[in-house]
Chain A
Amino acid sequence: MKGAPVFFIASRLIAGRNDASGGRDQARRALRGAVLAIGLSLVPLLTVMQVADGMVQGISARYVELGTYHAQAHAYSDTEPLADARDRLAATPGVTGAWIESQSVGVAFTSGAREGAAIRAVEQGFLDDPGTTAYFELEDGDLALERANDALVGSALAAKLGIKSGDSFNLITVRRSASGEPLPKVSILRVRGVVSAGYRELDSQWLFIRQADTARVLPRESTRSFVGIKSADPFGEPEQARLLAESALQQGYTVYSWKRLERNLFESLASTRTMLLLIMAVTVAVAAVNVSSALSTLVMERRQEIAVLKSLGARPSDLARTFSLGGAFLGAAGAVLGSAFGLLAATRINEILRVLEWLSNAARRLVALLTGSPAPAYAPLLDPEYYLQAIPITLRFADVAGVVILTVGLSFAASFLPARKAARLDPMDALRRR
């Protein structure tokens, strides 16, 4: 049998007609159940996939645009003039920006508190870069380091220290004497702005000062300096900035791409995402078993029709193809249903979380009211202190297409047994049972 009649018979057996005799149509109900099961199993899978992608993308973008740059060029020796390298890189076609940065650590303290800080001495160009401003939220003051001792403080660090723009605070860094003894140095800095990357991990550490203040504030022996480089498309072409920098600098420098610099973090995020998706995929596989069960019911219920198809000239392989295609149809219908609701849930995940949070708190208040307990404090479902404040969602339709193909494939595979049963059905036996 050619493909067209196989498709026609499979689609009609699976979808049926409204005006066909009703009777006891267990199979049709089972088929609808199988489609629903697949659809339901896909909703969490697609939601987790898109949300995980959004979170990974959100965290990665913050690290790449605000932390690692797209690539870093480190000089082999301290004598290499970084300013020359920066200028050469900035003039390289394809490079969108290059700035010197120096990093060290210290302890920031005010009269009431003290906190460890990752000190970053940056150039104003970095702060003005569109990639930087896209992810930096200015909570207070200005995003500028114009005067000596100006500082930008991460929002979580500022909160711990109890400082805001215009306030002064102390920064202790430690140098070593010629004999190796620690020599603390206290610098007085003024808060020019309080910034947030929207990610607690970063906001609790970062303290930005002027690149020009490096020599005065940071201890030479525990400070590392490099040129940070940005290019056009760090995620689409993650090695582009490194390759451009290597060709521009040639020797005397080692250049690292952002993927290499934060390899552990990104590998960890990717592994977590993969593990979550595998667990969810098992649910889809279990749902696909319903396809097998529903098709088996259909084969049992339509034994005589299958026998008639054989009497009309259908080969066993034709019937196997018909029911396998039917399984694929069920998978496709479930995938369409699940994709629609999964994507809807994913794009509305922030609203869904807010509703769940409200419901959870309402339930707690109700229980407290009924039991006469004191009203509980409002508890966030996900503490924004430790997560991205809003989960960024970027729909990846290629991934969705992959899930749909996987689902259809699983359903096709799950239809193997009922398809074989239909192919092996003895027409004489089926017709005699009438």
Chain B
Amino acid sequence: MSDVVLSLRDVSRVFSTEAEDLHILRSVDLDILSGRSSSISGPSGCGKSTLLSIMGGLDRPSSGTVMAGQLDLGKATETQLASYRSTVIGFVFQSHYLLKDFTALENAMLPAFMLSGDRPGSERVARELLDAVGLSARLDHTPARLSGGERQRVAIARALVNSPSVVLADEPTGSLDEDSARTVEELLFSVVAERGASLVLVTHDPRLAGLAEVRYQLRNGTLATV
């Protein structure tokens, strides 16, 4: 079990409204293995993104435990969670969520700069990654001057700049045309694998889900291996 980087046990997530309690996740058990790619698929609104957010320390489970090494994410402080997101996790969202006033290089280097305060060092790593995703000619472009596929490639570079153990990708190609989507998914799998990180992919696209080594299906809040 030494290669488990993230472990979820009996995780539930309930959103309470005035009318009812919505059980989004029910007793989810999941181990993310080091260097492996996993996909979680399921229909829209089934709780895939909520599960990803819990794994990424952006949300907390209503019950159950999420362990990242010795850190229990459900009980961690905000500072511990921020540090976890900064060093262990890399996010790639459906929408690129690049900061619009920052260039491609600045967006990609930002997590490293925020962590170390070393701008030249952060830029150096970000340049290498942007080169790896084929954007070395677009370093000084703001998101407004990049295509959808290019933006998502910058987001991939940003997710990897701190050498995270786990990359969490939420519908990473969901907003792209088919050609761009293919390019981005190939890059995502190859670049993450080259850096020895685990990839957790959330998608409702069966073809994309099928590219992962381990596949899960989320239905009615319950996770099952495919």
B-binding residues in A (CB < 8 A): 1-5, 8-9, 12-13, 15-17, 19-21, 304-305, 307-316, 318, 427-428, 431-432, 434
B189 within 8 A of A: no
Write the nearest CB–CB distance from B169 to chain A, whole angstroms.
13
Given A5-B117, A304-B97, A318-B114, do A312 and B144 touch, yes or no (CB 8 Å)?
no
Given contacts A4-B113, A19-B142, contact A313 B53 (CB under 8 A): no
CA gap between A432 and B110 in the complex, in Å:
22
Known contacts A428-B53, A431-B93, A314 near B114 by CB under 8 Å: yes
Q: Within 8 Å of chain A (Cβ to Cβ): is B183?
A: no
Contacting residue for A313 out of B87, B101, B102, B144, CB 8 A: B87
Cβ A2 vs Cβ B111 within 8 A:
no
Contact with A along B123-158 (1 / 0, CB 8 A): 000000000000000000011110000000000001
Contacts of B158 in A (CB 8 A): 312
Q: A428 near B97 (CB under 8 angstroms)?
A: no
Known: A13-B101, A19-B144, A305-B100. A312 touches B91 (CB 8 A): yes
Which residues of chain A are within 8 angstroms of B101 by Cβ–Cβ distance? Answer: 12-13, 15-17, 20
A398 and B10 alpha carbons, distance in the complex (Å): 65
Give Cα A188 to B178, complex, Å: 112
- Name the distance in Å between B136's Cβ and chain A's nearest Cβ: 19
- Check A312 against B78 for contact (C-beta < 8 Å): no
Q: Is B27 an interface residue, CB under 8 A from the partner?
A: no
**A307 cross-chain contacts in B, Cβ below 8 A:** 97
Query: Please, could you name 19 A-B residue pairs with CB atoms under 8 Å apart, sorted by A?
Result: A4-B117, A5-B113, A12-B99, A16-B101, A20-B100, A20-B142, A21-B144, A304-B97, A309-B99, A310-B82, A311-B56, A312-B110, A312-B158, A313-B111, A313-B115, A315-B79, A316-B82, A318-B82, A428-B58
Interface size on B, residues (CB 8 A): 36
Which B positions have Cβ atoms within 8 angstroms of A?
49, 53, 56, 58-59, 78-79, 82-83, 85-87, 91, 93, 95, 97, 99-103, 106, 110-111, 113-117, 119, 142-145, 158, 162
- Tell me if A312 and B119 are in contact (CB < 8 A): no
Pick from A13, A312, A318 the residue with the most CB of B within 10 Å. A312
- B residues in contact with A427, CB < 8 Å: 58
B58 close to A312 (CB less than 8 A): no
B56 proximity list for chain A (CB < 8 A): 311
- Report A339 CB to chain B, min CB distance, Å: 27
CA distance A432 to B144 in the complex (A): 22
Q: What is the chain B residue whose CB lies nearest that of A423?
A: B78
| Nearest chain B residue, comparing its CB with the CB of A2 | B117
In order of increasing CB-CB distance, the 10 nearest A-B pairs are A313-B86, A2-B117, A21-B144, A315-B82, A312-B111, A308-B97, A20-B100, A5-B114, A313-B85, A16-B101
Query: When chains A and B are docked, how far (Å) is the Cα of A316 from the Cα of B116?
Result: 17
Cβ–Cβ < 8 Å partners of A3 in chain B: 117
Q: Give the residue of A12, A316, A428, A432 whose beta carbon is less than 8 angstroms from that of B102.
A: A12
Seed contacts A5-B110, A311-B85; 14 additional CB < 8 Å A-B pairs: A2-B117, A5-B113, A19-B142, A20-B101, A305-B97, A305-B100, A310-B85, A313-B82, A313-B83, A313-B86, A318-B82, A427-B58, A428-B53, A432-B49
CB-CB under 8 A from A21, the residues of chain B are: 100, 142-144
Q: Which partner residue on chain B sits nearest A11 by CB separation?
A: B101
Across the interface, which residues of B come within 8 angstroms of A315, CB to CB?
78-79, 82
Residue on B nearest A16 in the bound complex, by CB: B101
Docked pose: A427 CA to B170 CA in angstroms = 15
Least CB separation from B144: chain A residue: A21
Q: How far is the CB of B110 from chain A (nearest CB, A)?
A: 6
CA distance A27 to B85 in the complex (A): 28
For the complex, what is the distance from the CA of A428 to the CA of B97, rounded to whole Å? 13
Return chain B residues, CB-CB under 8 Å to A17: 101-103, 142
Cα(A4)–Cα(B115), bound, Å? 11
- Scoring A20, A21, A310 by chain B CB atoms within 10 A of each residue's CB, the highest score goes to A20
Q: Is the CB of A314 within 8 A of B82?
A: yes
- In the complex, which residues of chain B have a beta carbon less than 8 angstroms from the beta carbon of A8? 113, 119
A312 touches B117 (CB 8 A): no
Min distance, Cβ A419 to any Cβ of chain B, angstroms: 16
Q: How far is the CB of B1 from chain A (nearest CB, A)?
A: 27
Q: Which residues of A contact B110 (CB under 8 A)?
A: 5, 9, 312
What are the residues of chain A within 8 A of B78 when measuring CB–CB? 315-316
Q: Is the CB of A308 within 8 A of B142?
A: no
Contact indicator A310/B100 (Cβ below 8 Å)? no
Residues of chain B lying within 8 A (CB to CB) of residue A434: 95
CA distance A9 to B111 in the complex (A): 11
Neighbouring A residues of B111 by C-beta, 8 Å: 312-313
Task: Report the minimal beta-carbon distance from A55 to chain B, rounded to whole angstroms.
Answer: 47
